[in-house]
Each structure stands twice: as structure tokens, then as C-alpha cells.
Amino acid sequence: MLAIASGGGHWSELLLLRPAFEGAEVVYVTVRSFYRRDVEGCPFYAIPDANRWNPLKLVWLSVRLLYILLRERPDVIITTGAAPGVITVRLGRLLGIRSCWIDSFANVEKLSYSGRLAKGHVDLCLTQWPKLAEEEGVEYAGSIF
């Protein structure tokens, strides 16, 4: 499987989900090379950070992510966002890879902007707030914190 998150809270939340990955071969992808030490011993890729405010970087990021997906050929993608996660699940869909989006704990009042862009392109979309599950037509199965 491929586990991908951008920096800060996105990466911390992904790491807290690691018990769920036990027994799977996991490739980690994130935006800071110094996060490598958090997942020592696992295949690791650092990617450029980009968001909706820098479209050129998003294009470069997409190329890089496509390369990683073609090289690693994962069966499953798991992401806690944000922009790199959206691009990965969308590319994954084109390549026939199953994917799961876990919207960050910080998104309490509505699904994140990136969650909205990912929602229609994943096989499982989870929110960490029960109230949002109903409102947004996604699933709630508990929270990371």
C-alpha cells in the first residue's frame, strides 16, 4: 500500500494510523525529507509541497506522483490529505488503485476543501466527526485522537 500525507497535522495523523497497516508493505510519501526518520526501514519518498495557490508546482507534483505510482504499483492508497493526497487518489483511480481518504480531525464544521475534491474519487471517505458523516454523505468510524 501507499500512505501519503502533506506536512504537520496531516503527517502526524497518518503516523497514528500505523497500527492499521500492520502486515502490509507500506511505501510512505510526504513533503519533508526529515520525516523519513519517523518511518525508518520503510520505503520513503519526499515530494514537493504544493497547494491550490501554486498551480505550476501542482503540475510538477502530479508528474512526480505519477512516477511513484507507476514505479511502486500499490494495491491500496491511504491518505490524510491534503493536495498531494487529492492528486494521488485521482491518479490512482485512473490506474485502477483502490483508495481511502481520511479527512483531518481539524475539519469539524465541514469536510476539508481537499476532502471535497477527493470524495467522489475514492472507495472509502472517512470523517472523524459523526455530525459530518450525515451532512456530507461520508462515513464515520471513530477518530484518531
Partner 1 sequence: MIFISVGQMLPFDRLVHLAEEWARLRGRTDLFAQVGPKGYKPRAFPSAEIITPAEFEEKLQAAELFVTHAGTGSILAAMRAGKRVLVVPRRTELKEATTDHQFPTARHFEARGVVKAVYKDEDFDGAVDWLLKQPEPRPRGPEPSPELLARIRDFIFG
Cβ-in-10-Å burial (0-12, 13-18, 19+) of 131 comes to exposed
Options 38, 49, 72, 123; binder of partner 1; rule CB under 8 A: 123
Q: Is the peptide bond before 24 cis (omega within 30 degrees of 0)?
A: no
> Contact between 144 and partner 1 (CB under 8 A)?
yes
Options 83, 91, 100, 138; binder of partner 1; rule CB under 8 A: 100
Determine how many CB atoms are found less than 10 A away from the CB of residue 117: 20
Give 107's Cβ-side CA count (13 Å radius).
22
Site size toward partner 1, by CB under 8 A: 32
Residues between 31 and 70 with contacts to partner 1, criterion CB under 8 A: none
**Interacting residue ranges for partner 1, rule: CB under 8 A:** 1, 9, 16-17, 19-24, 76, 78, 98, 100, 102, 105-109, 123-124, 126, 128-129, 131, 139, 141-145
